Amino acid sequence: MINIVLVNPEIPNNTGNIVRTCAATGAILHVIEPCGFSWEDKYLKRSGLDYWEIADVKRYPDMNAFLQANFNDKVREGETDGLAVRATAEVADTQMLFASTKSAKNYCTVNYDKDCYVFFGRETKGLPEELLHENYEKCVRIPMRAEARSLNLANSVAIIIYEYLRQHDFDGLKEHGKLTQY
């Protein structure tokens, strides 16, 4: 399954929308704190609607805690976040991708492994430069006009999730709907 990793999200509505997208698609959401909002925020709760019950959301105080919780014996201690993530991905033989406007690689040109992690940064700054630098060959970009700074975080997550799902034939998802009044 695709794992979405939000690094220090700032806007509660975006995170709530991402919770809803992850719940609807079966993606696992990992949130690395600190966040720019309280988990009790009414906008966070409202934008996630009643999907919180079916969402798989995990929270971590920092990057090291995320790595320890998901790859415990594969984590190399004492390295900076960027190097630790890179080393962990290599040792764990796990695909880790990094969504960034600073990447040269189109997100559609990547073959998404069945189990992968895609990292997204905060709304105002994106992912930390050091993390991008140490993992640049794994960075992906959603194409947009040159005049635009970035897309909305929740929209970007949805775009990547659905490319992953398309490549995996929408496995586990209901693909057909029906009218309710006819």
pLDDT digits 0-9 by tens, 26-84: 999 999 999 988 887 676 666 556 777 889 999 999 999 999 999 987 776 667 778 88
Q: Percent of the chain having pLDDT more than 90?
A: 69
Q: In whole angstroms, give the CA distance from residue 91 to residue 47.
A: 37
What's the confidence (pLDDT) of residue 47? Answer: 58
E strands, 55-160, in order? 56-60, 95-99, 116-120, 139-140
**Please, what is the Cα angle at 30 between 47 and 107, to 5 degrees?**
90
Distance, CA of 145 to CA of 151 (rounded, Å): 10
Q: Tell me the pLDDT band of 160, cut-offs 50, 70 and 90.
A: very high
Q: When comparing pLDDT for 137 and 87, which is higher?
A: 137
**Considering the chain, what is the average pLDDT of its residues?**
90
Q: In the prediction, which pLDDT does 72 show?
A: 84
Q: How far apart are CA 54 and CA 39, in angstroms?
A: 17
- Residue 160 three-state SS: helix
Mean local confidence (pLDDT), 92-97: 93
Cα distance between residue 73 and residue 69, in whole Å: 10
Return d(Cα 2, Cα 27) in angstroms, integer. 5
Of 6, 5, 38, the closest CA to residue 122 belongs to 6
Q: Which domains does the chain have, with CATH numbers?
A: 2-167 (3.40.1280.10)
Q: Is the pLDDT of residue 175 over 70?
A: yes
Q: How many alpha carbons lie under 13 Å from residue 9 in its C-beta half-sphere?
A: 28
